[in-house]
Structure 1
Amino acid sequence: MTTRPPLPPFSREDALQKVRLAEDGWNSRNPEKVSLAYTPDTRWRNRSTFLTGRTEVQAFLKAKWSKEREYRLIKELWAFTDNRIAVRFAYEWQDMMGRWFRSYGNENWEFDENGLMRERDASINDLPINDADRLFHWPQGRRPDDHPGLSDLGL
């Protein structure tokens, strides 16, 4: 069985690492790579979309990142216990018409004993923003370590 450290039960340091690893994965915009962080039978609620299994997750992410261009995400630990982590996040993206958005949300995660996420519940709201209001300007990919987080940005 594949393991994905850190493994539960989580310490604060483990939870912070797990959040950063998830952020890095999503910023890669690689659906196949990202899906490997989830159990084969993972269950998701993303807004009003319900998914089961890695295949559905991969298809969902592929469609998401083809629509949400210039995607850049920041996640922040909200709370944790044993095998669960709650995060808040924001991401900026551009639609096919060139309009910019900042999406805000919260996620609740539950992990199996191997550190794979078996459940993900996400609530997300989109806010149209002007190009001048963008805050996430790093090159596509991993957020630089010295880039401010959500709290530092006042988000």
Structure 2
Amino acid sequence: MSESRPPLPPFDREAALRKVRAAEDGWNGRDPHKVALAYTPDSRWRNRTDFFSGRDAIVAFLTRKWEAEREYRLIKELWTFGGDRIAVRFAYEFHDADGAWFRAYGNENWEFDGHGLMRARHASINDLPISEGERLFRWDRSGPRPDDHPGLSDLGL
């Protein structure tokens, strides 16, 4: 395999933090094809009630997701790490086609291959309806979260 996505396992704290931020930035870019390249060609996913594998399925899933979840903005935070695994917690905000806002809270367990590509992703997610005034993630949606924007712990989430 010629693909590589540093940092590579085994992860130390600094590498795990970089991996989490790279994932956050990638998802905030909302480009399904680009995001799918961070996963092995046969990556296995569990996302809420969806179970699937492979990059084509990842692209299809993310395309549907970001068509439905408008104004999507995500923050991920490292929970723990060890060897080739990282656990994160996250929150993201979006509105639906009717303009109703939500904040989704979740946890992900990630497993990587030796090239730094994610071979398994298990996500548990809950949605909370919020008002527009309760939104906390307000950076320009055309780019990643600014470095000076508070993280989840700083926001009390």
| TM-score under structure 2 length normalisation | 0.98
Give the match for residue 87 of structure 1.
88
Give the match for residue 32 of structure 1.
33
Give the match for residue 101 of structure 1.
102
SS of equivalent residue, structure 2 residue 125 = strand
- 2:148 corresponds, among 143, 146, 149, to 146
Provide the rounded CA distance (Å) in 2 between the counterparts of 1:142 and 1:40. 25
Provide the rounded CA distance (Å) in 1 between the counterparts of 2:58 and 2:5. 18
Q: How many Å apart are 1:17 and its aligned residue?
A: 0.1
Deviations 1:43-66 (A, max 9, x none): 000001001100000000000000
Matched residues, number: 155
Provide the rounded CA distance (Å) in 1 between the counterparts of 2:154 and 2:126. 21
Give the match for residue 117 of structure 2.
116
* Superposition CA RMSD, Å: 0.3
Unaligned runs of 5+ in 1: none
Deviations 1:21-59 (A, max 9, x none): 000000000000000000000000000100110000000
Aligned AA (2:147): D
* Segments ≥4 residues shifted beyond 3 Å: none
Identity %: 70
Unaligned runs of 5+ in 2: none
Q: How many Å apart are 1:125 and its aligned residue?
A: 0.2
Provide the rounded CA distance (Å) in 1 between the counterparts of 2:102 and 2:52. 24
Provide the rounded CA distance (Å) in 2 between the counterparts of 1:52 and 1:13. 29
